[in-house]
Structure 1
Amino acid sequence: MKAGDDDDKDVWNATAGIMEIDSGPWVDRTPLHDAAYHGRLLCLKTLIFQGHSVNALTIDHVSPLHEACIGNHVSCARALIDAGANVNLSTIDGVTPLLNSVIVGSVGCAESLLESGARPQAAATCQPSPLHEACARGHIKCVEALITWGADVDMDLPASGTPLYTSCRTRHPLCAKRLLDAGADVQLGTAMDTPLHMAAERDCTELVQLLLEFGADANVRNVEFKRPVESAPPGSLTEGFLLVYEATPRILSHLCRQRIRECAGRQRLHLLPSLPLPKALRNFVCFR
Structure 2
Amino acid sequence: MDNYTSDEDTDEDFDTQLIIQWSLQDVHRPGTTQQAPADESFHHFLRAEYKKIIETIETGKEDALSHLTKYHSAFDEADGMGWLPLHKAAVQLNKNILEITLKASKPSVWEQTTHNGETPLFLAVSTCLLENASFLLLNGCNPNAKNSEGNSLLLTGANALAQASDSSSILLEAASGGNPDSVALLLEHGADANVPKNSGHLPIHVAADRGHLLALKLLVPVTDLAAIKQSGISPVHCAAAGAHPECLELLIQAGFDVNFMLDQRIRKHYDDHRKSALYFAVSNGDLSSVKLLLSAGALPNQDPVNCLQIALRMGNYELVSLLLRHGANVNYFCRVNPLHFPSALQYTLKDEVMLRMLLNYGYDTERCFDCPHGDKVHPCYTFEGWTSTVIKDTMFCEVITLSWLQHLSGKVVRVMLDYVDQVQICSKLKAVLQKQGLWSEIHFILTNPRPLRHLCRLKIRRCMGRLRLRCPVFMSFLPLPNRLKAYVLYKEYDLYGQGIFTGTW
Q: How does 1:268-287 map to 2 (within 5 A)?
A: none
2:308 is aligned with 1:219: no
**Of 35, 39, 57, the match for 2:146:** 57
Corresponding position of 1:207: 319
Q: Is the CA contact 1:136–1:170 (under 8 Å) kept in the aligned structure 2? A: yes
Q: In the superposition, relative to structure 1, how do residues 256 and 200 fare at CA in structure 2: closer, same or farther (>3 Å)?
A: closer
Q: How does 1:1-288 map to 2 (within 5 A)?
A: 8-10=93-95, 12-17=97-102, 24-25=115-116, 28-59=117-148, 60-119=166-225, 122-124=228-230, 127-157=232-262, 158=264, 159=267, 160-188=274-302, 190-191=303-304, 193-224=305-336, 225=338, 227=342, 229-230=344-345, 232=347, 235=350, 239-248=351-360, 255-257=470-472, 259=474
Corresponding position of 1:272: none
Q: Is the CA contact 2:147–2:169 (under 8 Å) kept in the aligned structure 1? A: yes
Shift of 1:24: 4.8
Shift of 1:244: 1.6
CA–CA distance in 2 between the matches of 1:147 and 1:241?
33
Shift of 1:219: 2.0
Q: Is the CA contact 1:102–1:130 (under 8 Å) kept in the aligned structure 2? A: yes
Q: Is the CA contact 1:121–1:151 (under 8 Å) kept in the aligned structure 2? A: no
Q: Is the CA contact 1:66–1:96 (under 8 Å) kept in the aligned structure 2? A: yes
Q: Is the CA contact 2:206–2:238 (under 8 Å) kept in the aligned structure 1? A: no
Q: In the superposition, relative to structure 1, how do residues 121 and 241 fare at CA in structure 2: closer, same or farther (>3 Å)?
A: farther
Shift of 1:233: 7.5
Shift of 1:112: 0.2
CA–CA distance in 1 between the matches of 2:308 and 2:60?
55
CA–CA distance in 2 between the matches of 1:249 and 1:50?
66
CA–CA distance in 2 between the matches of 1:220 and 1:67?
42
Matched AA of 1:162? S
Q: Is the CA contact 1:11–1:42 (under 8 Å) kept in the aligned structure 2? A: no
**What runs of 5+ residues in structure 1 fail to find an aligned partner?**
261-288
Deviations 1:96-139 (A, max 9, x none): 11111112100111110112234498324x74432112111111
CA–CA distance in 1 between the matches of 2:348 and 2:228?
35
Q: In the superposition, relative to structure 1, how do residues 8 and 220 fare at CA in structure 2: closer, same or farther (>3 Å)?
A: closer
Shift of 1:246: 3.3
Q: Is the CA contact 2:233–2:261 (under 8 Å) kept in the aligned structure 1? A: no
Shift of 1:140: 0.7
Deviations 1:60-119 (A, max 9, x none): 432111111111111000110111110111011112111111121001111101122344
CA–CA distance in 1 between the matches of 2:203 and 2:349?
43
- Report the RMSD for the aligned CA atoms in angstroms: 3.3
Shift of 1:12: 2.4
Number of aligned residue pairs: 252
Shift of 1:40: 1.2
CA–CA distance in 2 between the matches of 1:138 and 1:65?
23
Q: In the superposition, relative to structure 1, how do residues 52 and 203 fare at CA in structure 2: closer, same or farther (>3 Å)?
A: same
Q: Could you state the TM-score of these two structures normalised by the residue count of structure 2?
A: 0.45
Deviations 1:167-186 (A, max 9, x none): 11121111111011111112
Q: Is the CA contact 2:348–2:354 (under 8 Å) kept in the aligned structure 1? A: no
CA–CA distance in 1 between the matches of 2:60 and 2:285?
44
Q: In the superposition, relative to structure 1, how do residues 74 and 202 fare at CA in structure 2: closer, same or farther (>3 Å)?
A: same
Give the structure with higher Rg (CA).
2
CA–CA distance in 2 between the matches of 1:13 and 1:249?
67
Q: Is the CA contact 2:237–2:280 (under 8 Å) kept in the aligned structure 1? A: yes
CA–CA distance in 1 between the matches of 2:205 and 2:344?
35
CA–CA distance in 1 between the matches of 2:309 and 2:145?
46
CA–CA distance in 2 between the matches of 1:62 and 1:221?
42
Q: Which has the higher contact order (CA 8 A, sep 6+)?
A: 1
Q: In the superposition, relative to structure 1, how do residues 184 and 15 fare at CA in structure 2: closer, same or farther (>3 Å)?
A: farther
Q: Is the CA contact 1:173–1:207 (under 8 Å) kept in the aligned structure 2? A: yes
CA–CA distance in 2 between the matches of 1:15 and 1:258?
70
Q: In the superposition, relative to structure 1, how do residues 84 and 231 fare at CA in structure 2: closer, same or farther (>3 Å)?
A: farther
Runs of 4+ deviating beyond 4 Å: 3-7, 21-24, 249-254
Q: In the superposition, relative to structure 1, how do residues 221 and 41 fare at CA in structure 2: closer, same or farther (>3 Å)?
A: same
2:146 aligned counterpart, secondary structure: coil
